[in-house]
A and B are shown apart, each in its own frame.
Chain A
Amino acid sequence: MLGAIADPTRRRAIELLGERPRSAGELAGALGLAPPAMSRHLRVLKEGGLVEDGHPAFDARVRIYRLKDGATGELKQWLAETEALWVHQLASFKRHVESGE
């Protein structure tokens, strides 16, 4: 799932899907994205194993996206923890490099 959650838009999409399942159109509206851009992001999230899609019982034409079971657990925490670690360390590195020490 290279970079699936590295992108701010995709992280926001994950947050929205964490609230409840949504259709691609609903996500695109909430994120202010054109449908093609939204489906690109959703494809990345699907390939990354974070999100799955399905059809509601009442309408086979509608595709609903939801967070995949397990994606909310350990892996997600690890990703968040590791990302925070590197954000922290890179910010420190930046200060060091730019101080010209």
Chain B
Amino acid sequence: MSGAAVIVALRVAATPQAAFTAFTRDIGKWWRSHPLFQLSRKGDGMLRFDPAGPGGRLVTRFDDGEEWEIGAVRHWLPGERLAFAWRLPSFQEGQLTEVDVRFEAVDGETRVTVEHRGWDTIPPSHVARHGFELMLFQRRLGEFWRGLLKRMSAQP
């Protein structure tokens, strides 16, 4: 496929099955809004897979009760793979990206790999949402990113 992708991986001390279950069932618990990377102007809301399972959707519910469908579930293979579409309120009509999450057993733990594809379809207007704060945002983003990567690479 064409376009760009981001791949982020990390190991968790759990079986692939348990990791998959926690990832899907508890996404409303572990998903933490970050001030720099909010899903919408209203924040991230409470995420859930609804219904949980093949044919479900990833939905978020904001504090004001409004809901947003982030995307349809493409693959639901417990303990192996989870894939879903990813579309934020700031995207233009028809703009869509895809997230693919793999769960692999490694030395008694599970490597969780998130691949987020399709950035060639992101509309230019999206970046403008940060407006005049863009310069500051970019500088803070760079620091934030480097810090996270450093901490992450320090993990086993």
Residues of A within 8 A of B (CB): 1-6, 8, 11, 48-49, 74-75, 77-98, 101
Contact = CB atoms under 8 A, between A and B. Distances in A.
Interface residues of B, number: 45
Given A77-B141, A86-B114, 10 more contacts: A4-B4, A6-B8, A78-B127, A81-B141, A83-B145, A84-B144, A84-B148, A85-B34, A86-B6, A97-B23
Interface centre among B29, B30, B144 (most CB of A within 10 A): B30
Nearest to A2: B5
Contacts of B32: 88-89, 92
A88 B127 contact: no
Contacts of A74: 122, 124, 127
Contacts of A97: 12-14, 18-19, 22-23, 30
A82 B3 CA distance: 14
A83 B13 contact: no
B148 A78 contact: no
A93 B141 contact: no
A32 to B, nearest CB: 16
A45 to B, nearest CB: 12
27 contacts: A1-B5, A2-B5, A3-B5, A8-B149, A8-B153, A48-B4, A78-B126, A79-B4, A81-B37, A82-B119, A84-B36, A84-B144, A84-B148, A85-B34, A88-B32, A90-B8, A91-B148, A92-B31, A93-B22, A93-B112, A94-B112, A95-B30, A96-B26, A96-B29, A96-B30, A98-B13, A101-B26
